[in-house]
Amino acid sequence: MELDRDLCSLQEARNLVRAAREAQEALKDFTQEQVDHIIDMMREAGEANAARLAMMAVSETEMGNYEDKCFKNYFASRTLYDFIKPMKTVGIIREDHEQKLWEIAEPVGVIAGIIPTTNPTSTVIYKAMIALKSRNAIVFSPHPSAVRCTNEAAKIMHQAAVAAGAPEGVIGCILNVSMGATNELMKHPNVAMILATGGSALVKAAYSSGKPALGVGPGNVPAFVERSADLAKAAEYIVMGKTFDNGTICASEQAIVAEDCIADELIGQLKRFGAHFLDSEDVKKVSKVVMLPNGGVNPKVVGKDPKFIAQLAGINIPERTRCLIAPLSGVGPQWPLSYEKLTTVLGFYRVADWHEGCERCFQLLEAGGVGHSLAMHSNNEEVIREFALKKPVNRLLINTPAAMGGVGATTGLAPSFTLGCGTWAGSSVSENVTPLHLLNIKRVAWHLQIPDRKPVEPMTSGGSNERAQTQNQSQTPQVDARMVQEIIKQVMQHLNR
Ligand SMILES: CC(=O)SCCNC(=O)CCNC(=O)[C@H](O)C(C)(C)COP(=O)(O)OP(=O)(O)OC[C@H]1O[C@@H](n2cnc3c(N)ncnc32)[C@H](O)[C@@H]1OP(=O)(O)O
């Protein structure tokens, strides 16, 4: 029986890839106008169904909240559409007259889209739109606890695309989910690329599949509050970022790092915006229910509100609490809440100055968020610059809620639900993924007249060069400088002919 189900799910994955491949063969010849019309219709369907899909996602996964999931679906359709609409993704997309270069866009083919349980419907809308904008087909693999809503989002996107002229089968979604089917999809010879968003094990599986994979896994985003920050705004934005969809966005704040001289005032402001500070006993109780003994987050608390967590931990909190804050003194297994929590719980650290703050943020990133994001609240550009130059993150988010800033909702970053974390996290991209990452770019390069540059005069006397020359004299044969110049001249003449 089990075997039958596995075979059936493998066959389903293969059938979906076959249909997607045929559809993509046709789609690759579509014009920019045709593609843009399809994307516009998908945008309309995403917007029209934002609320229904949000409701489905919340009730099936029991993660996040309805309002924020509505926003995420709207953001993945409307905001993303506005951003990608002017992008050229068909034919010659750039001509450089000076360097005599053309750039020609070619789709990659069929993409495997791995969908997380934290942002299922918004990630489907986003991935389907960027895939089709670049004339690719896509087959989704849902997380086992979000199969229905992921399939519904994929169906809505598919229907809208086909009604606008896209070939049938251009968007598919596995219904009989199994790890075997997901592996089959990722390793299928007709799948060109993997867009993987999810837990670290799955992202790792994507990277190990032998296919080019753009993945995003965990973050552990510190929010550093520096003494020059507007503390009321910083507190408001941190609570806003942390509580957005109950902490399910991987760019959401995981710990506050505050300079000691402003820490008390910041605590007052955080309380004003609905944060509840835990005493040391309650920190222990919350740690036990939020984190697993292996250091990972307990899936039961992911995307849950503070009331749920408090009940599970057996602690009392005020009625209006929006998030729980645990004062911590270190990073590592001794302080379980120093890791990524994906829920409405934050760590809190005091540091003497920004140098110590820099070090603490580094430790937090090293504990699981290297390459991802860091938030900073400061009006001191010098300190911001120091952080930007030193920290191993690809998004440094200034005076903004990290969850929304990271995905490009409140910053100038590209709207995206796949945030590249660079080689630090095993990824080949370090920016927010857009349709331009799903293209092969052919370059047509003409012969250029290479200018007859004057060769650099070799030094004949004085300084360290003379010393180097003297040292080398015994080992290397002497070369006449005029001879070198003559050779270079001849090569230049030859190239310019
Ligand atoms: C912009 C953004 O915000 S992107 C967000 C990126 N980050 C995330 O999505 C959060 C990362 N996700 C996670 O950490 C986890 O999924 C959690 C904590 C939310 C839930 O954890 P869990 O349910 O315990 O584990 P996980 O999701 O890894 O997998 C559960 C099982 O489903 C399986 N599974 C997960 N995805 C798939 C899939 N696409 N196909 C088949 N099986 C899958 C896993 O292999 C695992 O199987 P196992 O129990 O046999 O080992």
Q: What is the pLDDT of residues 366-386, one digit of tens each?
A: 999 999 999 999 999 999 999
Q: Is residue 67 assigned to a domain?
A: yes
ipTM above 0.90, yes or no: yes
pLDDT for 488 equals 67
Respond yes or no: is residue 261 known to be catalytic: no
Residues in the chain: 497
Q: What is the pLDDT of residues 194-234, one digit of tens each?
A: 999 988 888 889 999 999 999 887 899 999 999 999 999 99
Residues 88, 181 within the same domain? yes
Q: Is residue 475 assigned to a domain?
A: no
Q: How far is the CA of 303 from the centre of ligand 1 (A)?
A: 13
Q: What is the pLDDT of residues 431-443, one digit of tens each?
A: 999 999 999 999 9
Give, using CA atoms, the residue closest to atom 25 of ligand 1.
199
DSSP secondary structure string, 400-418? S-HHHHHTTSSSSSPP-S-
Give which of 405, 394, 418, 403 is closest to 129, Cα–Cα: 418
Number of domains in the chain: 2
Q: Is residue 470 assigned to a domain?
A: no
Is residue 147 pLDDT above 70, yes or no?
A: yes
Residues having CB closer than 6 A to ligand 1 are: 114, 116-119, 141, 143-144, 177-179, 182, 197-199, 201-202, 216, 249-250, 297, 299, 302, 342, 407, 417, 419
Stretch 380-406: mean pLDDT: 95
Stretch 43-48: mean pLDDT: 98
Cα angle 216, 217, 223 (rounded to 5 degrees) comes to: 100
**The residue to which tokens 């909190």 are assigned:** 317
- Tell me the pLDDT band of 6, cut-offs 50, 70 and 90: confident
Separation CA 414–CA 433 (nearest Å): 8
Stretch 80-97: mean pLDDT: 98
Residues 242, 204 within the same domain? no
CB 58 within 8 A of CB 69: yes
**The residue to which tokens 């020059």 are assigned:** 228
Give, using CA atoms, the residue closest to atom 15 of ligand 1.
199
Separation CA 170–CA 122 (nearest Å): 18
Q: Is residue 416 assigned to a domain?
A: no
pTM, 2 dp: 0.91
Burial track 474-492 (b if 16+ CB lie within 10 A, e otherwise): eeeeeeeeeeeeeeeeeee
CB 154 within 8 A of CB 171: yes
Mean per-residue pLDDT of the chain: 92
Separation CA 24–CA 404 (nearest Å): 33
Residues 244, 142 within the same domain? no
- Tell me the pLDDT band of 476, cut-offs 50, 70 and 90: very low
CA distances from 299 to 204, 289, 292, 315, 340 (A): 19, 10, 9, 20, 12
Token pair for 55: 């409701």
CB burial class (10 A; 0-12, 13-18, 19+) of residue 13? buried
Residues 207, 257 within the same domain? no
Domain enclosing residue 354, as ranges: 221-410
Q: Is residue 41 assigned to a domain?
A: yes
Residues 82, 188 within the same domain? yes
Residues 190, 131 within the same domain? yes
Residues 58, 39 within the same domain? yes
